[in-house]
Amino acid sequence: MELSCKTEYALLALVELATHHNTGTPLQIRQIATEQDIPDRYLEQLLATLRRAGVVKSQRGAKGGYLLAREPWKITLWDIISSIEGLDSPQQSVDENPKSAESTVVAEVWQEARHAAESVLQRYTLQDLTEKRDARQQRNIMYYI
Amino acid sequence: MELSCKTEYALLALVELATHHNTGTPLQIRQIATEQDIPDRYLEQLLATLRRAGVVKSQRGAKGGYLLAREPWKITLWDIISSIEGLDSPQQSVDENPKSAESTVVAEVWQEARHAAESVLQRYTLQDLTEKRDARQQRNIMYYI
DNA sequence: AGCAAACCCCAGTGGAGAACCGGGATATAC
DNA sequence: GTATATCCCGGTTCTCCACTGGGGTTTGCT
């Protein structure tokens, strides 16, 4: 239920990639890390996960770095979070423990709640986040006048 | 995002209490535990938490046990989960780390998603769970005919 | 070709919480 | 007073999170 540090790092990093997306040049781990104040060796792992999930792509070697795999408006927050959270549900273990009627009902309701949150996260894209951030910064500038 | 074992135990135990609520007699840990297949010493801790949160009340001594603190239709699933998960937000630490614009936006969106899930859980009461269970059992019986 | 800059992979560590188990103190019905 | 329950405090094992470190590999540049 709580926003884990891990997920927040991933989101912040991708917002950073989204803002530099129009340049076409890759962003390096180090740059993202210093910009968003994330431990770089940790961020490296998160980006690796996101790459394997097909959210970002990487360019190895000198002058390498990371790029978004798709346009910012084609990446939803749910894409990111489900990738990083790893709800792979690896084995649909056909175990024969017949869940009680109570368990089944609880699971159904929980599923409904999770789906509600999921659909909110599906509605937001990286593009939306950068726009919301820019709008917020504009407002903050207004306050200073 | 996932339903923890802990929370599921609490919900199952409370469903059990809700079904015996009309009798007016308290249910004991041991009974709930064997009925719902929960380790009893663990359930004891959960019920203690729920008691401190005001969801259930206890009766000590022989012939003691647990009772719902309110009627089953006045206890929402959110009441239970927030009690057990302990999202008390203990200290509103007025720390002076100015969150970045990106962090703020991410937090806002996350808040919105969490609120969506929360409102689903607010809509369901213990009464709803028992009714859903009974309806489901009726349907299962129909299948056997 | 050589070198440095970047990603890639694997492994380990410290702390926190989950999911338990156990023992003794306390309250209550009979 | 005794049996029966909850209450309270602690410890234990396990997993995950957050993070660090040591190499290896690919690539651009000169």
C-beta separation of B69 from B57 below 8 A? yes
Q: How far is the CA of B44 from the C1' of C23 (A)?
A: 15
Residue B93 tokens, joined: 């630490």
pLDDT at A145 over 80: no
Q: Which residues are within 8 A (CB) of B16 and not within 5 positions of it... i.e. 6 or more apart? A: A102, B27, B32, B35, B36
Cα–Cα distance list, A96 to A92, B138, B144 (Å): 12, 22, 19
Q: Look up the domain containing B116 and give its range.
A: 5-144
Count Cβ atoms below 10 Å from residue A123 Cβ, excluding itself.
Answer: 14
Whole-angstrom distance, CA of residue B92 vs CA of residue B112: 20
pLDDT at B90 over 90: no
Mean pLDDT of chain B: 90
- Residue A27: which CATH number? 1.10.10.10
Whole-angstrom distance, CA of residue A51 vs CA of residue A68: 9
Residue A95 tokens, joined: 């175990």
Residue A5 tokens, joined: 């540090």
Per-residue b/e over A64-77, b at no fewer than 16 CB within 10 Å? ebbbbbbebeebbb
Q: Please answer yes or no on whether A102 and B133 come within 8 Å at the CB atom.
A: yes
Whole-angstrom distance, CA of residue A71 vs CA of residue A80: 14
> A65 - beta bridge partners?
A59
Nucleotide nearest to B41 (CA to C1'): C21
C-beta separation of A120 from A78 below 8 A? no
Q: How large is the average pLDDT for residues A125-135? A: 95
pTM (two decimals): 0.89
Residue A77 tokens, joined: 């927050």
Whole-angstrom distance, CA of residue B64 vs CA of residue B51: 14
The pLDDT, as a whole number, for residue B96 is 57
Residue range B42-54, pLDDT digits in tens: 999 999 999 999 9
State the alpha helices, DSSP H only, in A3-125: 5-19, 29-36, 40-52, 77-85, 101-123
Residue appearing with tokens 């609490």: B10
Whole-angstrom distance, CA of residue B118 vs CA of residue A1: 10
Q: How far is the CA of B67 from the C1' of C29 (A)?
A: 18
CB of A108 less than 8 A from some CB of B: yes
Give me the amino acid identity at A100.
Answer: S
Give me the amino acid identity at B118.
Answer: E
Let me know if A26 is exposed, middle or buried by CB neighbors in 10 A (0-12, 13-18, 19+). middle
- The CA radius of gyration of chain B, in Å to the nearest whole number, is 19
The pLDDT, as a whole number, for residue A91 is 44
Residue range A69-91, pLDDT digits in tens: 999 999 999 999 999 987 544 44
Residue range A89-102, pLDDT digits in tens: 444 445 556 788 89
- B39 beta carbon < 7 A from strand C? yes
What is the domain count for chain B? 1
- A99 vs A113: which has the higher pLDDT: A113
A positions 17-46 inside 8 Å of B (CB): 36-37
Q: Which residues of chain A does B116 touch, with a Cβ-Cβ cutoff of 8 Å? A: 116-117, 119-120
- In which band, very low, low, confident or very high, does the pLDDT at B85 lie, cut at 50, 70 and 90? confident
The pLDDT, as a whole number, for residue B142 is 77
